[in-house]
Amino acid sequence: MGKSIVQKILEEHIVEGKWDPGKEIGIKIDQTLTQDATGTMAYLQFEAMGVPRVKTELSVSYVDHNTVQIGFENADDHKYLQTVAAKYGIIYSRAGNGICHQVHLERFGKPGKTLLGSDSHTPTGGGIGMIAIGAGGLDVAVAMAGGPFYLTCPKVIKVNLKGRLKPWCSAKDVVLKMLEIFTTKGNVGCVFEYGGPGVETLSVPERATITNMGAECGVTTSVFPSDEITKAFLKAQAREKDWVEIKADSDAEYWKEIDLDLSEIVPLTAYPHSPGNIKTVKELEGMKVDQVCLGSCTNSSYKDLMTAAKILKGKTVHPDVSFVVAPGSRQVLQNITRDGGLEILLSAGARIAETACGFCIGNSQSPRTNAVSLRTSNRNFLGRSGTKSANVYLVSPETAAAAVITGEMTDPRDLEKMGIKYPVVELPERFYIDDSMFIYPSEHPEKIEIYRGPNIGNPPASQPLPENIQGEVTIKVGDKITTDHIIPAGSKMKYRSNVPKYSEFLFEVVDSTFYERAKNIRDSGRDNIIVGGESYGQGSSREHAALCPMFMGVKAVIAKSLERIHMANLINFGIIPLTFKNEKDYDKIEQGDELSIPNIREIIEKGGILKVKNVSKNFEFEVEYNLSDRQKEIILAGGTLAYMKNKSEKMLKEV
Ligand code: MIC
Ligand code: SF4
């Protein structure tokens, strides 16, 4: 039987286990990336491992999230990251150089390699034919130290692309269609592999838009073949030597296959407050728009910005609209400047923002109260824009540009009626390339002193799993709770390196009393327990959604289902993830109920049925713990750092 692309690349990297979908495997990681908001914690943990130099082929530390420097905190973090990179053999991409995923695709991504990134949109690299996976910072730190990355060997879903996109319809609409088909839940443990004749009609940045937002479906990653189009992109980046062909065998078998006809794709939008809420743009036609934001790691490439610029040529931004453009990288900005796009955008009245995440994570350009904001980004979770009452719609650059002109939701195909022709944008044969904002590691690491400002604190230590868990349901939440609900980003993100302070904002958008209540429970010697619905922990890779609860004394999360990265982060920080055996038990529990899980340590160690007693309501229910032997050991030890320490002490004794 032939092999899929996913199987081919993974098999080449497996160091523990074997190709067997559903079972845990450990893989070698060739490249890592971190960004500043998750990076500080990742490098503090890496430092704690005592490894003198990273062991990967390539590791890059990007600064792109916390670039708004109000107060000293972010600048302190940048300096810390710069010195760590110099000392440990990591390339440092300075603030201003661009969003990690866009820059990595341009300058470092290589077909056939594995990439692990401390950001959930790392699968952007799948656009160039790599297996690129998002993970918590601690997992990335372990990979930098040469350790394997553990994941569930995935079930591969083949997406057969046919036909060609019609004018005004774009890669963003394709991935929004995927979200309509697959939704944001129920895809844990799967990978989307794209194939079929439609693939060759899509450029690498378009493929990357599609793999980027696969993250919203909850898949482990998404991947495209590496073909002549990939080769042309790498050539345009002066990196043709990095090209290798990667394709599936013609008789490869898949867990599931679907067909998607690109010629049937129409302009789509995700309406508030989930990327899975899909409607056609036509259905919302005429809705007044207050803000349009073009950028983010999903849609900030040369093609995206040049397309919008050509649509806006000679026009002025509608008087009721604030139009923000954040180019994905300095390279994109330099190239649209060379090719005249920047001038058109400026003349139209665009507000050019820094080449960074910016508006996407709500740390700038928060819209007005009750605003309708059209964004080309990938997430429209409640409050993520920084304005809780705002309604964010996710759209393509074409739909965004149409609204900039009309001031309302407009199907971009209707621009033809206004005499605007569809702009065909080809990628340059050779991009203007300038790598001067990368700082390469020092050749004299012994001379580098790590800078630690007052904002940098060591990660708090976790505790081994207790004999019994005894405590209270501190919060009961519904379905699809995202990590943005658990711990907000935006203006609070500057406390990423200060866990006690950042913890004060836990569950802020859902219930602002959480912190005080959790603190009282913890300080009275009892355990905090979180009860969640389906797909708990969707969204980002931020390990603070586990680290801060750990700091607050959360010992268990009991949910109907959990998302991959968040579940791994909970385990890394010694919080046991449990699922209801019978989902109806969820309905019987209330916030404030006293729960006890007797003998949990013994049961995790030796096996057996795990029962939870609801002391307040006087009933008992069963929960499941779907953990590999390795994960059980981590939970028993109280998290990955403690587990690694125990393991190396044991090894030393044996020597
Ligand atoms: C996001 O888009 O939510 C982020 C901010 O990039 C996160 C990482 C973080 O919280 O720092 C992600 O996607 O993993
Ligand atoms: Fe940055 Fe937004 Fe992409 Fe996250 S989704 S990496 S915040 S641009």
Helices and strands, number each (H, E), in the chain: 21, 27
Residue 616 makes CB contacts below 8 A (sequence gap 6+) with 590, 592, 593, 594
How far is the C-alpha of 38 from the C-alpha of 547, rounded, in Å?
A: 12
**pLDDT tens digits, residue range 73-121?**
999 999 999 999 999 999 999 999 999 999 999 999 999 999 999 999 9
Say yes or no to pLDDT of 592 above 70. yes
Picking from 631, 630, 491, 620, the residue whose alpha carbon sits closest to that of residue 569 is 631
How far is the C-alpha of 615 from the C-alpha of 431, rounded, in Å?
A: 65
The Å distance, Cα 362 to ligand 2 centre, comes to: 10
Nearest Cα residue to atom 13 of ligand 1: 540
Q: Would you place residue 274 in the very low, low, confident or very high pLDDT band (cuts 50, 70, 90)?
A: very high
How far is the C-alpha of 96 from the C-alpha of 437, rounded, in Å?
A: 8
Picking from 593, 592, 600, 598, the residue whose alpha carbon sits closest to that of residue 625 is 600
Nearest Cα residue to atom 4 of ligand 1: 540
Mean pLDDT of 54-80: 97
Picking from 272, 262, 269, 295, the residue whose alpha carbon sits closest to that of residue 283 is 269
The Å distance, Cα 250 to ligand 1 centre, comes to: 37
At 651 the pLDDT is 65
β-pairing, 351-352 vs 372-375, is unpaired
Segment holding 180, helix H or strand E: helix 171-182
Whole-angstrom CA distances from 355 to 161, 192, 329, 457, 494 are 32, 29, 5, 28, 18
**pLDDT tens digits, residue range 11-51?**
999 999 999 999 999 999 999 999 999 999 999 999 999 99
Coil, strand or helix at 358: helix
At 266 the pLDDT is 98
The response to whether residue 297 sits with its C-beta less than 6 Å from ligand 2 reads yes
The Å distance, Cα 120 to ligand 1 centre, comes to: 6
**pLDDT tens digits, residue range 474-502?**
999 999 999 999 999 999 999 999 999 99
**pLDDT tens digits, residue range 434-468?**
999 999 999 999 999 999 988 888 888 889 999 99
Quote the percentage of the chain above a pLDDT of 70.
Answer: 99
Tokens at 316, concatenated: 């002025």
What is the secondary structure of 221-281 as a DSSP string? EEE--B-HHHHHHHHHTT-GGG---B---TTB--SEEEEEEGGG---EEEPTT-TT-EEET
**pLDDT tens digits, residue range 393-403?**
999 999 999 99
Looking at ligand 1, which atom is closest to the CA of residue 378? 2
Tell me how crowded residue 617 is: count the other CB atoms within 10 A of its CB. 13
Cis-peptide into 273, omega within 30 deg: yes
Q: Would you place residue 549 in the very low, low, confident or very high pLDDT band (cuts 50, 70, 90)?
A: very high
How far is the C-alpha of 115 from the C-alpha of 123, rounded, in Å?
A: 9
